[in-house]
Amino acid sequence: MEKGCFTAIILGLVFSSTIQAQDKAQADSTHVRHKNLIPTLTIDRPDQTDSPYVIPVGFFQIETGIQHHWDRYQEDSLQYSYRSITYPNLLLRYGLMKGVEIRLEENYGVERVKPQDRTQDKTTGLYPALLAAKIKLFDQKGLRPNIAVLVKVFTPFHTRKELDLTHKFTPGLVGAFSHSISDRFVLDGSIGAYIDQTTGDIVSHYSLSQAVGFTEKLSMFAEVFCINIPGEPSQYAADTGLLYMLRPNLQLDVYVSKSISYHAIDIYAGAGIGIRFPR
């Protein structure tokens, strides 16, 4: 009887130890999976504000779409109507290392300019390619927002005959920030400058964007932005759009913009998609 009780006690201890070991292994596995969760897909389109978020290491992301511009302006006592369509406006992003991504931006466009009572002028081709790196500096902590910097290089590689690039390679620099006000509201902003390839002038720009999440998949943004070209009045405009997360790695967008100041482009609108490819 004593031998049977002793055996039962030993088996009970072994069984209990096995259960505890399995529970610990399961907890460790859950912790590892949680630690390695892939961040929510974040894209840098369709607004003018660059996000400070960097895509994960080894991931590849495509952001592309179509954009249409309409504008009217006066020059040398003539009224001009301007229309352009960009398809695609393409951004390729790759997570090079933790906190660093490299980028290639390329656009193909068709522009139509019609002076009053004159023949329409049409130009097509690839715009100069843009190379860049985004570097994460800080995560949000208290009042400090997420902060990143983008280092850009405008290249002379294009197919547009009307462009006369006196400066082949020109630099650009952008600071981007984002602050989560709550689970639903996020405030983004960016400020930067670059050297114009045709004039050599320093062009500055800044923007502020407020995003609100209606559901886990549907969100909306509203933004104001400004472009400052030396010798010209500032160009102020505002835009708004909807974002829909169709899949964890697939997002759709639609947007429209309206000028605030006279010298900004009157209206532009478009739609696009962002796709992230896992490792």
* Domain map (residue ranges) of the chain: 1-37, 38-277
Pick the CATH number of 38-277 from 2.40.128.130, 3.55.50.30, 3.40.50.10490, 2.60.40.1180: 2.40.128.130
CA distances from 156 to 131, 166, 194 (A): 11, 10, 15
Contact indicator for 276, 59 with CB cutoff of 8 Å: yes
Of the candidates 86, 64, 74, which has an alpha carbon nearest to the alpha carbon of residue 269? Answer: 86
Contact indicator for 67, 268 with CB cutoff of 8 Å: yes
Instruction: Tally the residues of the chain.
Output: 279
Contact indicator for 49, 189 with CB cutoff of 8 Å: yes
Contact indicator for 43, 50 with CB cutoff of 8 Å: no
pLDDT of residue 37: 59
Quick one: CA torsion of 220, 224, 229, 234, rounded to 10 degrees?
A: 150
User: For the chain, which residues score pLDDT lower than 50?
Assistant: 1-36
Compute how many other C-beta atoms are within 10 angstroms of the C-beta atom of residue 190.
Answer: 24
CA distance 200 to 203: 9
* Number of alpha helices (DSSP H) and beta strands (DSSP E) in the chain: 1, 13
Which pairs with CB-CB distance under 8 Å and at least 24 residues apart come from 104-108? 104/129, 104/130, 104/131, 104/132, 105/129, 105/130, 105/131, 105/132, 106/130
Q: CB under 8 Å to 36, separation ≥6 — which residues?
A: none
Compute how many other C-beta atoms are within 10 angstroms of the C-beta atom of residue 141.
Answer: 8
pLDDT of residue 36: 46
pLDDT of residue 150: 99
Which run of H or of E encompasses 33?
helix 2-35
Classify residue 255 as exposed, middle or buried by CB count within 10 Å of its CB (0-12, 13-18, 19+).
buried
pLDDT of residue 103: 99
Which pTM value belongs to this model?
0.84
